[in-house]
Amino acid sequence: MRFVSSANIHQKGFNVSLTDWFGTLFSRKLKVTAVAPPPAVPPKLPGAADEIREAILRGECPQGLTFKNISLAGVKTPFILPSGLRCFGLDLSNSAVSAIPADISVEFKLNLSGCTVLKELPSGLRTGSLVLNGCTSLSALPEGLAVSFLNLDGCANLAHWPESAVVEIGSLRARGCTALPGLPQSLKNLTNLDLAGCRKISSLPDGLRLSGWLDLADTAIVSLPPSLQNVRLRWRGVEINPQIAFFPETLSTAIILDEPNAEVRRVMLERRGLETFFKDATATILDQDTDAGGPRKLLKIPLPGDEDLVCVSLNCPSTGRHYLVRVPPGIKTCHAAVAWTAGFDNPNDYRPLVET
Amino acid sequence: MKPSCYRQGDVFLIPVPVLPPMNARHLRGSVLAEGEVTGHTHRFRQTNEVEVFSWEERLYVEVLSEFAELVHQEHDTIGVPRGGYEVRIQREYTPKGIQRVVD
């Protein structure tokens, strides 16, 4: 963790540029593929997006409508999208939409985030970016799906991915798709692949290539196909090496303690197992109590020819993850240890009001 | 007895009676810290509710509204009341010296 500086803040500008690039990419490479051809004479359009929205909600929107961006985000009353709708971006996030017309055409981005009553999508759906995170009623992807970016985070009931449904060029996120048994062999080229929490997935398609990274935290993957041998690996966002991912039993106490990055060390400990780590290191418990994250311990590991290694072992109140932070060897209590990590040399000065 | 502090992950907000002088360097935005590996940030949701300063290699923040929400991608949000705070990042001990926790 580091303080933010002016240089860091300027990274936000970079993100804006990426967004511009993203739009450019799709305007060049992903032309509209309409199931139904556009009408020869487009219907007269209302003057503003708000009027379009209201017309759709009243069920009075003309068929074959063409518009740039339409938002029905957060609409909780049931509504039906007009047939032949064509637009650049369509935001239906957190709405009560239950069906998507078969002849819809969304060029850039279709956002269905949090549409918990949506059970299926139309066959042949094509768009640039498809956001389906939190669509908990969705059990299958449609035949013939073609997208470049796909977000399936939290689609806990998604269990079927047909071979004809393809993601290409961009990223695929599928965090927490706990019912998904695997990915189709038709996946060939992606930037990033995030499968954290996909417990049923034990293998990846042979021939799949990633130009970015693969996040395989809490999957059943124990090896990679030849096409992914050199891919960068992540564990819930933390970059790790193949030893941590596939050979955690070889992570010795010395290797773990020598790791300078706290997040990487946390993953190492998680992979190795705290109990095993301290068992191997024959740690003694100097103190134990409870804080907002649960039980915590102050542990000492004697190091031959060196000062004792004293660590406080605690859990994050928000994520429940274990953390191990080294403190000066003279510290005797958990509270004093955590106070010291916050910069308080006098433990009585440390009284956290809120911890998350 | 010093006043209570707020902790979000490895970031601590310690109330201070006096903020840095006017010539302290003002930082744009509302980000207090970001993970080098994860890219996650500790930041205030509304930029216009806070002012962030850098003074003598320490970071400070002044909450201008009644409460400002400190948010993070993984940690629960904290409502921080109006006032001045020193921002500290969790430190850890190494035989070679004290260092900030790196993530």
pLDDT number for residue A25: 35
* Listed range (A78-92, A129-143, A248-262, B60-74) with the worst mean pLDDT: A248-262
Mean pLDDT to the nearest integer, B47-68? 93
Q: Is B38 on the interface with A (CB under 8 A)?
A: yes
Instruction: Please tell me which residue of chain B has the smallest CA distance to A308.
Output: B95
Question: A62-69: which pairs have CB atoms within 8 A and are 24 or more residues apart?
Answer: A64/A38, A64/A39, A66/A38, A66/A42
Question: Which residues in chain B are contacts of A327 at CB distance < 8 A?
Answer: 92-93
pLDDT number for residue B21: 82
**How far is A96 from A100, CA to CA, in rounded Å?**
11
For residue A28, pLDDT over 70 is answered with no
For residue A13, pLDDT over 60 is answered with no
pLDDT number for residue A35: 45
Question: Which residues in chain A are contacts of B7 at CB distance < 8 A?
Answer: 342, 352, 354-356
Lookup result for tokens 């260092």 = B99
Q: Is B67 on the interface with A (CB under 8 A)?
A: no
Would you place residue A261 in the very low, low, confident or very high pLDDT band (cuts 50, 70, 90)?
confident
For residue A201, pLDDT over 60 is answered with yes
Mean pLDDT to the nearest integer, A12-38? 36
Q: Closest Cα to residue A221, out of A238, A240, A187, A245? A: A245
For residue A312, pLDDT over 60 is answered with yes
Interface contact B36-A1, CB threshold 8 A:
yes
Mean pLDDT to the nearest integer, B8-31? 88
pTM above threshold 0.80: no
Would you place residue A177 in the very low, low, confident or very high pLDDT band (cuts 50, 70, 90)?
very high
Q: Is B35 on the interface with A (CB under 8 A)?
A: yes
User: Above pLDDT 70, what percent of chain A?
Assistant: 84
pLDDT number for residue A3: 63
ipTM of this predicted structure = 0.90
**How far is A65 from B66, CA to CA, in rounded Å?**
46
pLDDT number for residue A45: 47
pLDDT tens sequence across A204-230: 999 999 999 999 999 999 999 999 999
For residue A111, pLDDT over 80 is answered with yes
**How far is B65 from B46, CA to CA, in rounded Å?**
10
Interface contact B75-A237, CB threshold 8 A:
no
pLDDT tens sequence across A152-164: 999 999 999 999 9
Q: Closest Cα to residue B85, out of B8, B40, B33, B20? A: B20
Are the CB atoms for A85 and A108 separated by under 8 Å? no
Mean pLDDT to the nearest integer, A309-315? 89
Mean pLDDT to the nearest integer, A178-188? 95
Which among B41, B54, B91 has CB closest to A343? B91
Which among A6, A260, A348 has CB closest to B28? A6
For residue A37, pLDDT over 60 is answered with no
Interface contact B7-A351, CB threshold 8 A:
no
Interface contact A2-B100, CB threshold 8 A:
yes
